[in-house]
Amino acid sequence: MKFQPVIGLEVHVQLKTDSKIFCGCSTRFGAEPNLNTCPVCLALPGALPVLNQKVVEFAIMAGLATNCSITPTNIFARKNYFYPDLPKGYQISQFDLPICLAGHLDIAVGDQTKRIGITRIHMEEDAGKLVHGQGGGSGVDLNRAGTPLLEVVSEPDMRTADEAVAYLKKLYQIVTYLGICDGNMEEGSFRCDANISVMPVGSDTFGTRAEIKNVNSFKFVKAAIEYEISRQCELIEDGGKVVQETRLFDPNKGVTRSMRGKEEAHDYRYFPDPDLVPVVISNDWIKRVKGDLPELPETKFNRFLTDYSLPEYDADVLTSSRPLADYFEQCAQSCNNAKSAANWIMGELTRSLNDNGIAVEKSPVSPVQLADLIKLIDGGTISGTIAKKVFEELWKNGGEAAAIVEQQGLAQVSDTGAIETAIDQIMAANMGQVEEYRGGKDKVFGFFVGQVMKAMKGKANPAVVNDLLKQKLAG
Amino acid sequence: MSINQHEIEHVAKLARLSLRDDEKQLFTGQMEAILAYVETLNELNTDGISPTSHAVPMENAFRPDCVTPSIGHDRALANAPDKNETYFRVPPVIE
Ligand SMILES: [Zn+2]
């Protein structure tokens, strides 16, 4: 039997606020356990939550950027369940009136565009963290309790693991562009639950789904979904039945396994939280947030095509993150040669950044330094080969491209006298090849260019070398 | 609306309460009476009235995104029944 997988994703986006969603405790990651806590996030009796306005603004931004409608009246609800990382015995979340509804994102699948529906986005608080192996028990750290989250729920519109990853990357790109999430997946700032089912090809009834919890890298999402699809297909082919359950992905073994003991969990008895008054979002407020939205990846991509005449591939790579796009724009505007800036950034710069594990915003070579280097090439002062050496020098020791060229005597030689002398010497030493060339073997020309450049230590102007060689070899 | 003992058992389980059989019977009757009383609200015509989530006519109570001092782990743990270093300690949780 052939199966059709059906995938929907729930993504938890940790918002980049300074303070928690309902209290003034810091959201800083990595503090000593329970340091950033107060009566509100510890759930001490009588403590009352007060909503952080920035959380609402960030949620509106996310909704506008994902084509959602913004709900005018928002209610917070209590989601009741017991778990040691949840001090109140309920999580403050949104239920029937989430802040954003009915949006979508377009992803690229091969050379097609596919629209993935977004069912809803709601605001909620994160739980604390459990640490195991605490002298026969588990440790509870409530620093994270009350950290603001957006939960972004997609429609079950994805059919392959690759589509799921493409959707996730798109969403990631948007929330990091918006600056509402720091995007640190290792610290859990962007994590994903995947709902997966399979049905016979041609069927229109979805199969029973399993939910895979908390997968926190694009690579693991792909592996977890692929494993789960094949597990379900094999199970059904062997006459078994998929049960609705929560599963965990084990990245070491590459498998998902059942999380037992949460069988009665889906009865959360949601009800409006009486401690939090409704949040009413006016059209003016939405307009104001819309006006302040940064340029989004798609718009930037299109602008790069028109403003800088870049090929689609370049525009796509350069808009993959906001810092990279900013770097490119500063460099291109400073050197007035967008294509060359794009090539250098996607080539030498990206390679050096990757090799050293450095983010582009921390690049030791600034956009202006790189632009100055490109200007030297465009002005004919140095060749592309020499420029790579200068770039290495800039990377290691900083400074200015022009000064490095000057100090190290790297300027290109266009002086015909010096080049002619070199050519004469090389022709004299290689009379055999000269005869071959004159006998019609054009390929030997490359040999001479190489020899001349070598003799000139790469500093000869290639165009001048070509012209002079042709003249002299012609005899 | 009538409520049966099975529902009482379900709610008790969700609330982590263990009830004796006679308690289950007692609460089934009491819950039924409470729900029957609340049921009288259904006699009112609520057409065109949006659901009430809050009794206080107030909206948009916000605080700015500013960090205020926390109480720190020593005070946070002062009343903890059990702790280890600066963690609250609970019975082992298996995931
Ligand atoms: Zn707090």
**Confidence label for A264 from pLDDT (cuts 50, 70 and 90):** low
Q: Do B87 and A136 touch (CB under 8 A)?
A: no
Does position B1 have pLDDT exceeding 60, yes or no? no
Measured in angstroms, the CA of A353 and the nearest CA of chain B are apart by 34
Residues of B in contact with A269 (CB under 8 A): 14
Measured in angstroms, the CA of A207 and the nearest CA of chain B are apart by 26
Burial class (CB in 10 A: 0-12, 13-18, 19+), A462: middle
In a domain, B33, yes or no: yes
Domains of chain A, earliest start first: 3-284 (no CATH), 295-408 (no CATH), 416-474 (1.10.10.410)
Determine the distance separating the centroid of ligand 1 and the alpha carbon of A145, expressed in angstroms: 8
CB under 8 Å to A456, separation ≥6 — which residues?
A413, A418, A419, A422, A465
- Beta strands A51-52 and A210-215 are unpaired
**Confidence label for A44 from pLDDT (cuts 50, 70 and 90):** very high
Is B84 in the A-facing interface, judged by CB distances under 8 Å?
A: yes
List residues, by chain if needed, whose CB lies under 5 Å from ion ligand 1. A 23, 25, 38, 40-41
In a domain, B54, yes or no: no
In a domain, B94, yes or no: no
In a domain, B19, yes or no: yes
pLDDT digits (tens, 9 = 90+) for A319-352: 988 999 999 998 888 888 888 888 888 988 888 8
> Which of A37, A82, A280 is opposite residue B70, by nearest beta carbon?
A37
**What b-and-e string marks burial along A227-239, b requiring 16 or more CB atoms within 10 Å of the CB?**
bbbebbbeebeee
Query: Residue B21 belongs to a domain with what CATH number?
Result: 1.10.20
Determine the distance separating the centroid of ligand 1 and the alpha carbon of A45, expressed in angstroms: 13
Is the interface score ipTM higher than 0.90?
no
Q: Do A134 and B84 touch (CB under 8 A)?
A: yes
Q: Rounded mean pLDDT of chain A?
A: 88
Longest Cα–Cα distance of chain A, Å, equals 99
pLDDT digits (tens, 9 = 90+) for A85-114: 999 999 999 998 899 999 999 998 888 889
The total domain count for chain B is 1
In a domain, B36, yes or no: yes
In a domain, B53, yes or no: no
A7 close to A195: Cβ distance less than 8 angstroms: yes
Is B62 in the A-facing interface, judged by CB distances under 8 Å?
A: yes
Measured in angstroms, the CA of A77 and the nearest CA of chain B are apart by 10
Q: Do B14 and A17 touch (CB under 8 A)?
A: no
Is B77 in the A-facing interface, judged by CB distances under 8 Å?
A: yes
Measured in angstroms, the CA of B14 and the nearest CA of chain A are apart by 8
Tell me the CA distances in angstroms from A463 to A383, A416, A449, A459, one per residue in order. 10, 11, 10, 12
Q: Which residue of B has its CA nearest to A263?
A: B14
Q: Which residue of A has its CA nearest to B83?
A: A139
Determine the distance separating the centroid of ligand 1 and the alpha carbon of A43, expressed in angstroms: 9
Q: Do A136 and B92 touch (CB under 8 A)?
A: yes
Residue span of the structural domain in which B35 resides: 5-43
Looking at residue A299, its amino acid is T
Residues of A in contact with B72 (CB under 8 A): 35, 37
Find the radius of gyration of the CA atoms of chain B: 22
pLDDT digits (tens, 9 = 90+) for B12-63: 888 889 999 999 999 998 999 998 899 998 888 888 888 778 888 889 999 9
Determine the distance separating the centroid of ligand 1 and the alpha carbon of A158, expressed in angstroms: 38
Look up residue A259 and give its two tokens: 């999380």
| Mutation target vs A (from B62, B66, B83, B94; most A CBs, 10 A cutoff) | B62
pTM: 0.80
Name which residue leads in pLDDT, A385 or A318: A318
Q: H/E element holding A40?
A: helix A39-42
In a domain, B93, yes or no: no
pLDDT digits (tens, 9 = 90+) for A147-171: 999 999 999 999 999 999 999 999 9
